[in-house]
A and B are shown apart, each in its own frame.
Chain A
Amino acid sequence: MSALLKIEWLKIKKYPAFWWMLAIVMLTYPSINYMFYNVYQQVTQGKEMTNSIAKMLLGNPFAFPETFHTVAYFSSFFVILPGILVIMLITNEYNYRTHKQNIIDGWSRKEFMAGKLIDVAIISFVVMTVFMLVAMGFGVYTDPDNLGRIAEQLHYIPMFYLQTFAQLSIAFLLGYLVKKAFIALGIFVFYYLVVENILVAYLKYKKIPITRFLPIEVSDNILVAPAFTGNFGKDSKEAYLLSISLVNQQVILTILYTVIIWLICFKVHSKRDLN
């Protein structure tokens, strides 16, 4: 296990795209959250009655402990960035034919796939670390007085990890089966941004309640919209409470989906010719 980790790290640590991804993630996560924070400030900082009402309704979503939930939700929009990297890391192996060479040099098929699993785990971990730092940064910056409540919603950290790992596993599966970087990327981005959103809208319109089982939605629903979205009347409260009550199920389903994805990868790889 540690040998596999060491070898995968040898492959990743000098791969420029890895550092680019990290740099972009480190820029986008604070930026997107800062953007929403600015909007929050604009609607709550005035002296008028509406501003006070807004403040009452919203609370401070960027203060401890809510920051972990809020920042996780907004940051998770950008899973496409590490997704690109995950696809590159597997399609590179085909492109350089190192998927053959690793086997020739003495890895079993299983070890090769375990290495890739480790890649996805490492990247999810890196992304999670950035999220954690950004969330804590906002917590400290926006309301240092609440620091004492830091531990109340820490479970959003492993939930963010699970969501990222699950969605990156989908990206990996595509890269692994399609083999060509651009085609896999195209399918991933198109599905992630377009197809599933249309499906969700259509199914909701038709009142067919299966959207939460779709491949991306299943893990998207682990991180539900921040708590303040439930403060806009009875309907929004009900919707928020419903989605919160389903989180446990979504977690279990996500783990199940992800296990199936990796079982497929291991199974296919144990048999297929490495061309």
Chain B
Amino acid sequence: MMEKVLQLTEVSKSYGSIKALKEVSLTIPKGSVFGILGPNGSGKTTLMSIVLDVLGADSGTYQWFCQPQTANDRKRIGSLLETPNFYHYLSAVDNLKITSAISGRGTNADIDAVLEIVKLSERKKSKFSTYSLGMKQRLAIAAALLGNPEVLLLDEPTNGLDPVGILEIRELIKRLAKNGITIIIASHLLDEVEKICSHVAILKRGTLLTSGPVDEVLSNEDIVEIGSSDLKALKDCLAGMDNVLSIKEDNNRLQVHFPAGTANMEAVNQFCFNKGITLNLLLNKKKSLETKFFELTND
């Protein structure tokens, strides 16, 4: 049986009349890179805040490591929630000493090591208040990484980073995932999630729309992109083909949707040719997370 790191059961949370989370149930398997996606205001940060005991749920429960909830659970989790939160008058090293003392993770040598990883070594003795936005974010990542926690919980980890920084963090996450660390990432950057996640959950206005392994979430339809000089004739022709679920026109080409696993490129080509239409484009397009995301989150 799959080992669970985090289990949420019907968790709800309201801010006054606004329902931020509506009975969200979710299981995060050990060793997964779990992306939590959603537009701004969909409840990603609220969800993370609840499982870190920053906010209290109105109803529902959660369990870390299949055990009754205690503060000690959080010592096993390296977290970056929303913003880098540090004492402005202390240096990076002094701030991490506090993180280490509270969480019990990491030694002085580990502090130097994580600062090296996030490339802050040169400024490690400067006060936090003198850091740029990107440096503050790097320090927050360093704090989460300190002492090799079993689980990383990262809320918009690439916020404020430059393109090189984003790439470095992405590589770092992939490397950590290979070492078996469970990583939970909330993001609105679909590209980011698609590139690194093994599992995904999509939230919209507090409701969990779908969750599961990325392949399963994405692959419930096949899409074939085709084009010809007479798009209208092509569309009419394809409407007569078996298995076609829907046809959308996009950017002078057609996207033809088939049930998962049934799109056959040769059959499509043959079918059109027999109807007297020659194709100038034929592409088997795997559905991107972006398409799926918009499909799910658009009204």
Contact = CB atoms under 8 A, between A and B. Distances in A.
Interface stretch (A4-12, A61-69, A214-222, A227-235): A4-12
5 contacts: A96-B87, A100-B54, A104-B54, A106-B75, A274-B55
B164 interface: no
Contacts of A148: none
Contacts of B101: 3, 6-7, 10
B87 A11 contact: yes
B89 A103 contact: no
Contacts of B55: 273-274
Contact of A102 (B72, B94, B102, B104): B102
Interface in B97-115: 97-99, 101-104
A105 B73 CA distance: 10
A98 B101 CA distance: 14
Given A97-B83, A103-B54, A104-B81, A10 B103 contact: no
Which of B81, B87, B104, B143 has the most C-beta atoms of chain A within 10 angstroms of its own C-beta? B87
Given A6-B101, A106-B104, A274-B54, A101 B72 contact: no
Most chain B CB within 10 A, of A6, A92, A271, A273, is at A273
Interface in A1-53: 3, 6-7, 10-11, 14-16
A107 B97 CA distance: 15
A105 B102 CA distance: 6
B258 interface: no
Contacts of A109: 53
A107 B102 contact: yes
Contact of B74 (A6, A98, A104, A273): A104
A97 B102 contact: no
B75 to A, nearest CB: 4
Contacts of B211: none
Interface residues of B, number: 28
B1 interface: no
A96 B86 contact: yes
Contact of A11 (B70, B79, B98, B104): B98
B298 to A, nearest CB: 31
B267 interface: no
Nearest to A107: B102
A108 B103 CA distance: 11
Given A14-B90, A16-B89, A96-B85, A104 B97 contact: no
A196 interface: no
Interface residues of A, number: 26
B71 interface: yes
B71 A104 contact: no
Contact of A10 (B53, B56, B83, B97): B97
A16 B87 CA distance: 12
A105 B90 contact: no
Given A101-B85, A104-B53, 4 more contacts: A10-B94, A100-B85, A103-B52, A106-B75
Q: Is the interface of A mostly helix, strand, loop or mixed?
A: helix
A2 to B, nearest CB: 11
Contacts, number: 72
Interface in B178-204: none
B56 A101 contact: no
B286 interface: no
Contacts of A274: 54-55
B88 interface: yes
Given A14-B90, A96-B85, A96-B88, A105 B56 contact: no
Contacts of B70: 108
Interface in B186-235: none
Please provide the 6 A-B residue pairs with the shortest distance between their CB atoms, ordered closest to farther: A106-B75, A108-B71, A101-B85, A97-B85, A105-B102, A106-B74
Contacts of A106: 71-72, 74-75, 102-104
B52 A14 contact: no
Contacts of B83: 97
A273 B14 CA distance: 12
Contacts of A6: 101
Given A104-B74, A105-B99, A106-B74, A271 B56 contact: yes
Nearest to B128: A96
Contacts of A271: 56
B43 to A, nearest CB: 15
Contacts of B104: 106
Contacts of B97: 10
Contacts of A100: 54, 81, 85
A10 B95 CA distance: 9
Contact of B85 (A14, A98, A111, A273): A98
A101 B53 CA distance: 11
A10 B98 contact: yes
